[in-house]
Structure 1
């Protein structure tokens, strides 16, 4: 390639610290100019009030940063809850997204009771995803469905079912290699060809098939090199958002700390350097 591809580096700030000042300082030291907002001061974005949102917006603006996405927990609830439950929560999250000037909002496609199968809940999931997409269309927001272990859209076939069945330009995909590995899926080999047309966002982490342990990019079984090469060849110029999960992972997120977060960033830099991609 004659011109090197440049992707926009971002990261889940709360994996670094609960304090946005530390989040932004570490990201800046790693060369990023964007942050992905999941929580700040220990409060999840779905629970932000106007005062907290304004304070975070001011802190981000003063640092000269932008917001790559709002990493909401929408859809990380049981599908048995009423449709309006997550629609109303999304409405609140979208207010935060507008204030932080982010068009991307991450969502999920619902948990189910242990005795129910994915097929059992398919229709209920699609009704809810359509309702969320309807609101996104009105609000000019792009929802990014993340493939997460245990939700309806955890494996490629069901992720494809969601985006094709809903059929909205305001419902796209965040791609997470590690989450696919934890579901026993070879991400690139078994999912990329069918899902690539819908991928608008890259979440960067890797994992091991044997244990499910999350590891830095390129150090696991997530076929990260094949994935980033395909993105480069397709002319991708979007975000690469670090979500290392190197210290712990839990239901609404994960944590790494500044040192491990830096290790994850350097591993990703080494990976994409092999294919002539840089970040800014």
Structure 2
């Protein structure tokens, strides 16, 4: 079988300057970019002038935006509901200006003494409020299975999407993040979650250490996942998030050279499976 997917990637993993980001993305054969920050400023804090400037750069280079990689939900669940709803309102304005419906979100951190069960109801209340706003504004929230948030294991991710039950809440699948919480992504998670997956974030990890590595070089079962997506008729985005130089709470960094290495590794793996990345 064969498939054609749209290649994208987190521009700020390359360089803080969008001009450099776009040049490298173009060099690896991509026509889309995922926007997490520009000029060192996170999307939730970009002012209108900066957003307009960024939109102009994208238009000049004929680039689309696969998603806005927001930090919504990467805060403690004890904060008031309106805290993240207000921040999402700002991110939605950015998404509209950059002509994308897709917004990455998370399902909240918790204090060390609190279990996932302790915060479940608070998480669901907050995610439902975010989904309500997304439905009104015509955007799609893509939940990433980040380590340490409520939805970091397949079982809790399933609980989240089924409990919220919103057509505006779907999944951004990240194999490496599942590895880092002790899960075999495809073996233990794919069958229960694949019906909710709308977006692929591409990185891999080694189970023994949690180290992030290029696609196909770790324990993330990337080949199995890509094959299942291909055979299931997936035609969406594959967004590179290599984290090959560093990772931190709000993102990661690779630099132009390592980002290029990550792109070549992913292209090689995809090509072996008959997946054409455009």
- TM-score scaled by structure 2? 1.00
Alpha-carbon shift at residue 258 of structure 1 (Å):
0.3
What runs of 5+ residues in structure 2 fail to find an aligned partner?
none
* Whole-Å separation in 1 of the counterparts to 2:232 and 2:3: 11
In structure 1, the partner of 2:211 is 213
* Whole-Å separation in 2 of the counterparts to 1:24 and 1:165: 38
Equivalent of residue 230 in structure 2, options 207, 229, 232: 232
In structure 2, the partner of 1:34 is 32
* Mapping of residues 126-205 of structure 1, within 5 Å: 126-205=124-203
In structure 2, the partner of 1:67 is 65
SS of 1:18 mapped into structure 2: coil
SS of 2:79 mapped into structure 1: coil
In structure 1, the partner of 2:103 is 105
SS of 1:196 mapped into structure 2: helix
What runs of 5+ residues in structure 1 fail to find an aligned partner?
none
* Whole-Å separation in 2 of the counterparts to 1:124 and 1:171: 17
- TM-score scaled by structure 1? 0.99
* Whole-Å separation in 2 of the counterparts to 1:178 and 1:215: 9
* Whole-Å separation in 2 of the counterparts to 1:249 and 1:61: 30
SS of 1:154 mapped into structure 2: coil
SS of 1:153 mapped into structure 2: coil
Larger displacement relative to structure 2 (270-279 or 15-24): 270-279
* Whole-Å separation in 2 of the counterparts to 1:97 and 1:77: 21
Q: How many residues align?
A: 278
* Whole-Å separation in 1 of the counterparts to 2:11 and 2:100: 15
Report runs of 4+ in structure 1 exceeding 6 Å deviation. Answer: none
